[in-house]
Amino acid sequence: MKKYKVFLAKANIRVILAGSFLLACILELALFQTAFFTQHFGNYPRTELNLSSLEGYNGEALPLLLDNPTVSFDGLSLPVRNVTVHTAGPAQVLSGNIGICDEANAWRTMGAGSFQVNPGGQKSDFTVRLNSRGNLTRLRINFTSELTEPVFLLSVVLNERVPFQMHPLRLFLMAGFFFVLWASVRFRLYEAEYSPQKKSHQLMNLSVLLLCLLVSCGVLYGSDPAHQFLRSFPALEEIRSPELIVDAYMQQLDAFEKGQLELDLDVNPQLDTLNNPYDKGERDKKDVTYHWDRAYYNGKYYSYFGLAPLFTVYYPVYWLTGMLPTEALAASVLSVSAILAVFFAIHGLLITFRPRANLLLFLLGEAAVVSASFLYLMQASLNFYYLPLISALGWLAAFMGFSCFACQSGGQGRIRRPLLFALAGISVVMLVLSRPNMVLLAAAFGAPLFLRILFDRSASLKEKLLCAVPFLIPVILGGAAVMYYNYIRFDSVFEFGTTYQLTESDIRYNRLSLNLHHLGSMLYHYFFEPFVRTEFFPYLRFTTEKCVDFGNYLYQEYSAGLFQMPLNLGILLTGITLFSKEKKNSLKKHVCALLLVGIVILGYIDFLLGGIHIRYVCDLSLAVSLLAFLALLEYIPSPQTRSARILYALALGMLVLTVGQGWLTIFSNETNAVLKNNPDFYLTVGRMFYL
């Protein structure tokens, strides 16, 4: 035993890697392959049920029709340990359940298992474990998903031989987990402080970054089974189709290429005959066709979505290839950029507010921030609605990073500091061009940093001008351009078009007002509203529960609170910073206080002017997760005492759970795009969790 402990203590990286892979293989065999090894015990004869004896059999398969997607097999009498069904039909994920009667329950068909299958893909068969009490007498197969076309049963086999199938992704994840766990213990990473100067720490930080980027690339890979991420420039009929919710950025690029601001859409003249064209009820009642969710003003359609994704993704792809990016590619490019910006911001925040951080908390926390900000959810939604959000998250992170490094650079060269401030100013402009309301968070974060330089008595006027002028030039020029663009479209420098959108209700009547009931509702829905937990993959989904206690109509769709990501609970620790009396924490206190106020104000504005939706929650997600992350680094002590070890373990558990839930939102979100677009990929990942 002593020699074994010495061996573990002296193990190097290669030994740890090999040992982790070996442990993963052992767990795979002992836990996930038990059905393969245990099938050799007991008398369970393989029996293929006779489909030809059932009504509707067409000579090759038994169709289950839309109005009755159920089939039952009666008169059975044999012990059963599983049922395997081979299907054909539509290429989509369908769910269902298996019901049985046996000797212990001979009269009622009781649910015994559930399944998911893609009849039109590679995952067209499924096996459900059963455990009949005595002989099985009846078997029922029932599809619970609403069928759009018939599903065909090719064969139904009881006690089919279970093949030996190791899941590569599961094996990789388990090996990675064991490697991190073993390396953390072997090299006592839980006691080390993060030092950006150490090459080993740089490599570990780079590994976490690559992992986050790899997950993002995995989303892109799984978004389309054909992996076609470019599309031809659309025909005019496609752009103008009122029945399709067409990509707004595609429409705007088409408009710019034609030398116009308004979208090239047919305008129904009946819109101008309505008493209120922005009232969806009147439009529907009078059967007036229109283009959904576009700004309608003075007889023309406009896009109110921020232009930043158009300039940073659509035009570059168009100029390079002559084609347009799909929404999956656009979201992935923006997400990769945002992940890089988040890591950049984290390191800027670290040198500004927390020069010492626990290594393991820091590394795991970086991945948790990406997940807690719902970045993977936004990317996996594969919808142009999320493109400005992803872009805004990236530019807000970039602004934070550039601002922190600029304020800390001091007199390090005459070019570096002004350049950083100029880049911070450009980030503000791009943030406005992505999601204008999120500029409030940039202002709340940047004000204490910039004012500190302005009122620094030790700095000369020249030094202050070298900070202010490079920042203000892009902000003023960009702001003027944005206001001019707004004015020539909507006759107002502050109107971005959201007021005139043709959607669920007349947004012009949404007003800002102070109401404690609304404030409490915002705090609940944006921070505390729980996920709906499910027994099976992906184990969570967003709530669609409606609340009609606001005194007026309020838009409500898929949503969940930020505190469902455990990392974000760390923001509660910022109270310690706010009540700290140490002068060295004054800058941290001011930034923390203003950012918290900005988060609440922005949440309340979104709630009153928009409603309840996960997209509005995402406006706050990055700021909340970064604040929570910094608070955890600040106040979770190193595991030197028993109480400190308990807190430390809880913090690590919160971070691991946050990362896991962030990955699960890839497969459960508003659009469920991966499930619909690539059902085989969805089922491949989902079956990784099946024993």
β-bridge pairing 151-158 and 82-88: antiparallel
Examine residue 679 and say whether the peptide bond preceding it is cis (omega within 30 degrees of 0).
no
Quick one: pLDDT at residue 4?
Answer: 53
Reported as a pLDDT band with limits 50, 70 and 90, residue 10 is low
Residues in contact with 653: Cβ distance below 8 Å, sequence separation at least 6, in sequence order = 566
Q: How many residues are recorded in the chain?
A: 691
SS3 assignment for 563-620 = HHCHHHHHHHHHHHHHCCCCHHHHHHHHHHHHHHHHHHHHHHHHHHHCEECHHHHHHH
Reported as a pLDDT band with limits 50, 70 and 90, residue 242 is low
- Is the pLDDT higher at 621 or at 19? 621
DSSP states of 193-223? BP-TT-HHHHHHHHHHHHHHHHHHHHHHHHH
Quick one: pLDDT at residue 605?
Answer: 95
Q: Measure the CA–CA gap between 306 and 95, rounded to whole angstroms.
A: 38
Q: Give the global pTM.
A: 0.93
Tell me: pLDDT of 412 over 80. no
Tell me: pLDDT of 523 over 80. yes
* Residue 494, phi-psi category: left (phi > 0), alpha (psi -120 to 50), beta (remainder): alpha
Pseudo-torsion of CA 36, 39, 45, 46, nearest 10°?
-10
Proportion of the chain in helix, strand, coil states, percent, rounded to 5: 55, 15, 30
174, 175, 159, 3: which is closest to 78 by C-alpha? Answer: 159
Question: Amino acid identity, residue 390?
Answer: I
| Assigned token pair, 126 | 């499924």
Q: Please answer whether residues 620 and 526 qualify as being in contact, where contact means their C-beta atoms are separated by less than 8 angstroms.
A: yes
114-143 pLDDT per residue, tens: 999 999 999 999 999 998 899 999 999 999
- Angle of CA points 674, 680, 686, to nearest 5°: 75
Q: Measure the CA–CA gap between 636 and 559, rounded to whole angstroms.
A: 30
317-359 pLDDT per residue, tens: 999 999 999 999 999 999 999 999 999 999 999 999 876 789 9
Residues in contact with 413: Cβ distance below 8 Å, sequence separation at least 6, in sequence order = none
How much is the average pLDDT of 647-651? 93
* Burial bucket for residue 419 (CB in 10 Å: 0-12, 13-18, 19+): middle
What does the domain layout of the chain look like in residue ranges? 1-36+169-187, 47-158, 313-689
Instruction: Return the minimum-mean-pLDDT range out of 158-167, 182-191, 233-242, 657-666.
Output: 233-242
Tell me: pLDDT of 490 over 90. yes
Q: Which residues of 103-125 are buried (b: 16+ CB within 10 A; e: fewer)?
A: eebeeebeebbebbbbbbbebbb
681, 691, 689: which is closest to 123 by C-alpha? Answer: 681
How much is the average pLDDT of 388-413? 89
- Angle of CA points 191, 211, 395, to nearest 5°: 100
Quick one: pLDDT at residue 488?
Answer: 96
How much is the average pLDDT of 413-432? 91
Q: Please answer whether residues 668 and 540 qualify as being in contact, where contact means their C-beta atoms are separated by less than 8 angstroms.
A: yes
Quick one: pLDDT at residue 612?
Answer: 93
Quick one: pLDDT at residue 440?
Answer: 97
* Residue 41, phi-psi category: left (phi > 0), alpha (psi -120 to 50), beta (remainder): beta
How much is the average pLDDT of 178-184? 89
427-456 pLDDT per residue, tens: 999 999 999 999 999 999 999 999 888 888
588-642 pLDDT per residue, tens: 899 999 999 999 999 999 999 999 999 999 999 999 999 999 999 999 888 878 8
553-595 pLDDT per residue, tens: 888 889 999 999 999 999 999 988 888 777 667 888 999 999 9
How much is the average pLDDT of 153-165? 92
How much is the average pLDDT of 475-494? 96
Strand partners, 324: 231
Reported as a pLDDT band with limits 50, 70 and 90, residue 3 is low
Task: Give whole-number Cα distances, 101 to 79, 107, 108, 131, in Å.
Answer: 11, 7, 6, 11
Reported as a pLDDT band with limits 50, 70 and 90, residue 95 is very high
How much is the average pLDDT of 490-518? 90
How much is the average pLDDT of 143-165? 92
Tell me: pLDDT of 92 over 80. yes
Quick one: pLDDT at residue 25?
Answer: 93
Mean pLDDT of the chain: 91
Quick one: pLDDT at residue 678?
Answer: 95
- Angle of CA points 300, 330, 620, to nearest 5°: 85
Q: Which residues of 462-482 are buried (b: 16+ CB within 10 A; e: fewer)?
A: eeeebbbebbeebbeebbeeb
Q: 47-158 has which fold?
A: Jelly Rolls (2.60.120)
Quick one: pLDDT at residue 11?
Answer: 62
Quick one: pLDDT at residue 650?
Answer: 94
* Residue 672, phi-psi category: left (phi > 0), alpha (psi -120 to 50), beta (remainder): left
How much is the average pLDDT of 196-224? 94
